[in-house]
Each structure stands twice: as structure tokens, then as C-alpha cells.
Structure 1
């Protein structure tokens, strides 16, 4: 599991508000320092379904050893733990179980944010900072909270990756929030799927072991993703696979299908997290993909026919045409 050292900026908060004070909320900032080594990279790759025979993903001595692209989301998960815990300070009537991950954007500023074994660096330290960029009302008692997340390499100060987390929060009075979501380009753009058969389809069968491994590899230790009693109390039939794990599987499928596994082609991904996957029930996820110019549109589905449910929707992976090959 990544090693986390917390560095929350010192902010004196007033009592919980009765309305949303958007100008004040936008001044808040949270930072966290994370470190990782090859063990975390291997565990993360395995948690997304990498084969033990794919040495580039599981053997640190391989000349092209690397992390899968969505490893950049792990650092967003880490800092969002701080943001989530602070929401009761700036959102009226906030209750943690009413906050769900609704959409996600990840951009790799460098094609390979994770140094390879050849770098000779045993442990990498990153600093990740999160800021709320918007709160949007969705009716009188729900809001969208949009958090911008930037990760830099601590040693060089170079930006490694950018995440944007859109959370949907129920039972929060929306007075004071914006009435419309701001256009943030590819960060806020969702895509309709083409009205034709997918160009490529790949499948992955989940398992309870995968859910447990991803919790450890990502540092997201929410009991909702492992404990049946917690899941039942939240109204679910079984523990949920972490949404960023489902996303990671989908991006892995896109890279395999359209870039021959060359992660250097990956630039960014934007997707809506529509419904949960229940790894405890060993659900099989199907990634349906369409080539669309310089991007790959995709959705992720469980089941068929009347039992079909779309778990990731309106997704797009932006590809680098000149991505260097590992």
C-alpha cells in the first residue's frame, strides 16, 4: 500500500454553514505527500488484472517495467480522503455515506509518470494538492462537487498528472451553489456512444480477491469495498468494486486493444461512473470500444439483454499519436 504522509494546510474553519459559501470554499486547499516503490506498482498492476506472465508489469528487472496509466489516479484517491473528511465543514448537512464518485478525469502530463527500474530510484515521493473548483446545485437537496487535483514529483517539482473528481452529494441544500456546471473542456466532456457495433470488445471477470488486492494497492480502505455488513447497511447486495479499479480495467483494455499495450499512447481519460460492479459476486465486465479519430470512446457493461447494466458510460480515452514506445 502506498505510504502516506499528511500535510493538511492549516485552515481555521467556522461552524458548519447553513448555506453553501462558494467563494470561501474555493479558497480551501488540501495537500498530501505519497511515496511508492516497485512493490506498489506490481500490486497495482495485478489488481487491475495484469497477468503474472507479463513481465513488463510484474517484474521490476524487466527493461520496460512500468505502471499501468491509471496509477496516476491513486494519488487523487489519497488526497480525496482529506477532502471527504473536510466536507462537513463547508457543505451543510453533509453525511459521508451520501457522497458518491460520479465522474473522473485523469491526464498524464508526462507519458510515463512512473519511473522505470532503469531510473535507479528506489522510492518516489509525490505531492498532491486538491482544490474545489465548483459546487453545482442539482435540485434543492443535492449538489455536484468538482475537485481539481494536481500531482508533482517532490524532488523536481515537475507536474506528473492531473485528476478531476466529480462527486455527487445527496441531502445537501444547494442554496449558494452554481446553477450550471462550468465548461472545462475535456475535463467535463462526456461522449455519446456510436450507434454501431463496437470496433473491439474485451472482457474481465472480477473476483473478491481482486477487490481486496485493489484496496491494498490503492490505499482506498473504505469498508464498503470489502465488508458485506457495511455494504448491506448502505443498501447494496454485496461490497462494491472501487470505481477507480473498474476504470483502470477499462483503460487497460483500451491500451491493449488500440495501442498494442503501449502505455505511452495514453494521454487522458474522462468517464462517468454509472453503476457499481460487485466483485464479491464475481461479475464479468465487458469493455466496448469505438475508434473516434484521435480518441477511443468506451463504455463498460455487466450482463446481457434485460439484465444488462452499464457501469461506466460516455467514456473517452485521448491517445497520443507520437507516444514513445517502452
Structure 2
């Protein structure tokens, strides 16, 4: 029977787990899907001594377990409808880079998730899901995600009236009132959307099929939010860390509007350096020359001294 109120304390006691693997081919496909150059051998050639996945690859394993939690929402959210659930905010912290040990074909991972907060937003609720991914064999934590789902038309009774503040996981930064320190552009394509689906395992037809997108109210298929996030983080790391992914620590942002890859939209990442943080937003030239904000209030934390690479 569907619930009529939110029993937050009971929901916070539930955990979900899933086992996944990643391979050389998946890492290469992921890097290319975020716009990596085919000549960047550390990202596309497994024989390179520094071969690795871009740091936001950890979000892919968040996608895998969010499928389980999405289905479980029918059991713990009143009036839940699958199409009312959208990815609203994201936090990702990289403990180390994703690599393939020499001689191995794949690496097995265990990902565990739990709901840590549900917040009343009057017309919706925010569901905060804490996700931890570790190597199955060693038990070493590879990355942490916090996936924030924006769920429309859910009666908020039983949810928190105010969001619990948990440091970098919940902190959103306003856009600075000055010109960006650096700006980078990227043009999407239908091929990018298709490649990201294959690399991430997120086979939702919303990201490829025009009829599905139209039925959902979009003019064209939308790019997966974690792909847009990955593009933005790649821009920041390239701009302020010379492409050195080891310097990336974490990212937090709000996913404001989707990109339409099949429309070949040009997205611009605007970046402001403030100490070890790079604040950023991603915008697209919309109708009548008005910029549409795709990702807002973003912050990438770098493992560098203040101003080291600005």
C-alpha cells in the first residue's frame, strides 16, 4: 500500500547495495563522451602509464544505484510518480582516480546508498541520497556521491522543513558579481548523447528517442545531467589544473535546466577562482539572445594552494 505521509526516520534506516564493474573500454568511452581529445593518450590509451578515467566517472556508479532507489520511492513517498522525479543537485568527492590495475580486465565495485534527508520545498520535496562506492576486493573507498532528487507533487508531511547543513555536500555558491576569470565552450552532438548512454549504462530513452522526449515535454532528447556536470568539471580541471585530474577533490552544483544534445547546443562554462575553489556555472544561448543557465551555483574544490594555477 502506498504511504500517505513520509516516515523519515524509518526511511533513513534503509540501505541499498549494488555490485558493478568497470573496464578499459568503458573508461575510454566515458572520457570521449565528455569531450576528451582522441590524442590525449592518458585518457584514451590503456597502455599510457597515467591512463585513468576523468574524475566525475564516479557519478556513473551513482546512476546505477539510483535506479533501485527510484523504484523504492513508490514505497516511501506519498503520491509518487516516476516522471515527477528529476535530478536537482549533485555532490561528488573523489577519493582517488579510477584506474585498471596492470594485467586486470575489470575492477569490481560495491556501491551502497541511503537516504539522509528529505526536505519540504512546498511544491515538491528534495530527497538527499548518500552514495559510497568502494573496490570490492580491497574495501578502499573510491568516491562519494550525494544525489539530490527533486520530486514534484509529493505531500511533504513528515519531511524536514529546513535542510540539514552538512558542509560541502549542501553548500551552493552564488555566481560572483564580476566577469569570469576563464571561459570554455563545448558543442554537444547526438553522437555525444549516444556515447554517454553506452559509457554510463543509463539507457533511459529520454536521452536518445525524440518521441519519448516529446512526450515528456522536451523539444528534443536531453543530455544526461551527469554528462553535463562532467563536461563542466573537465573544463575547470583543464583551465585551473592543466588537466591534472589528481588535483580534483570535489564538486557541488545545481542542475538547473537540461542540454539538448541533438540540437547541437553550445554550452559555455564560466569560471571564477576563489582560493582553492573554482566557482562555475554553465549557460547556453537561448531564444532572443537570452542565456539559459544549465548548471548553477557550482563549486569545484581543488587540492592546490591558493592561486597556484590562476
Give TM-score scaled by structure 2 length: 0.96
One of 1, 24, 45 as aligned partner of 1:59: 45
Say yes or no: does 1:88 pair with 2:70.
no
- Per the TM alignment, residue 37 of structure 1 is displaced from its structure 2 partner at its CA by 0.9
Determine the structure 2 residue equivalent to 1:275: 257
Determine the structure 2 residue equivalent to 1:105: 91
Determine the structure 2 residue equivalent to 1:115: 99
- Per the TM alignment, residue 307 of structure 1 is displaced from its structure 2 partner at its CA by 2.5
SS at match of 1:236: coil
Separation in 1, partners of 2:302, 2:64: 26
Determine the structure 2 residue equivalent to 1:229: 211
Q: After the TM superposition, which residues 74-223 of structure 1 pair with which residues of structure 2 at under 5 Å, given as runs? A: 74-110=60-96, 112=97, 114-116=98-100, 119-139=102-122, 141-223=123-205
SS at match of 2:86: strand
Separation in 1, partners of 2:248, 2:256: 23
- Per the TM alignment, residue 262 of structure 1 is displaced from its structure 2 partner at its CA by 0.3
Root-mean-square deviation (CA, aligned residues, Å) is: 1.2
Separation in 2, partners of 1:37, 1:238: 31
One of 241, 245, 270 as aligned partner of 1:259: 241
Does the 8 Å contact 1:190/1:271 carry over to 2? yes
Determine the structure 1 residue equivalent to 2:20: 34
Determine the structure 2 residue equivalent to 1:295: 277
One of 25, 28, 36 as aligned partner of 1:50: 36
Separation in 1, partners of 2:217, 2:223: 15
Separation in 2, partners of 1:190, 1:306: 27
SS at match of 1:39: helix
SS at match of 2:162: coil
| Structure 2: stretches of 5+ with no match in the other structure | 306-310
Say yes or no: does 1:312 pair with 2:295.
yes
Does the 8 Å contact 1:296/1:316 carry over to 2? yes
- Per the TM alignment, residue 223 of structure 1 is displaced from its structure 2 partner at its CA by 1.0
Deviations 1:68-104 (A, max 9, x none): 0000111011000100011101101100100000000
- Per the TM alignment, residue 130 of structure 1 is displaced from its structure 2 partner at its CA by 0.7
Does the 8 Å contact 1:64/1:116 carry over to 2? no
- Per the TM alignment, residue 196 of structure 1 is displaced from its structure 2 partner at its CA by 1.1
Separation in 2, partners of 1:175, 1:37: 44
Aligned residue pair count = 304
SS at match of 1:255: helix
Determine the structure 2 residue equivalent to 1:9: none
SS at match of 1:249: helix
- Per the TM alignment, residue 121 of structure 1 is displaced from its structure 2 partner at its CA by 2.5
- Per the TM alignment, residue 306 of structure 1 is displaced from its structure 2 partner at its CA by 3.7
Separation in 2, partners of 1:312, 1:182: 22
Does the 8 Å contact 2:23/2:100 carry over to 1? no
